[in-house]
Amino acid sequence: MASNAAVPFWRAAGMTYITYSNICANLVRNCLKEPYKTEALAREKVHFSISKWTNGKPEKPTLRSDSPVE
């Protein structure tokens, strides 16, 4: 046997299952009809703030409100 099982093409290209699954979900959401599409995309928006720490103190946080783009 070459390997344990036939590796799916996305895993061979270095992608993990969650990345693959999220890409599929995003593509499906982008193909929806209008009121459902905006609801779905709004539901998936993420907002997060990142702050780097140096010398035990947090620096100014950066806020990111990215829409889910892979």
What span, in angstroms and rounded, lies between the C-alpha atoms of 33 and 40?
A: 10
Q: Total number of residues binding other proteins (CB under 8 A)?
A: 25
Q: Which of 1, 2, 33, 66 binds other proteins (CB under 8 A)?
A: 33
Q: Which helix H or strand E contains 30, and what residues bound it? A: helix 17-30
**Binding of other proteins at residue 32 (CB under 8 A)?**
yes
**DSSP annotation of 64:** E
**Binding of other proteins at residue 7 (CB under 8 A)?**
no
Among the residue ranges 8-16, 47-55, 59-67, the one whose residues contact other proteins (CB under 8 A): 8-16
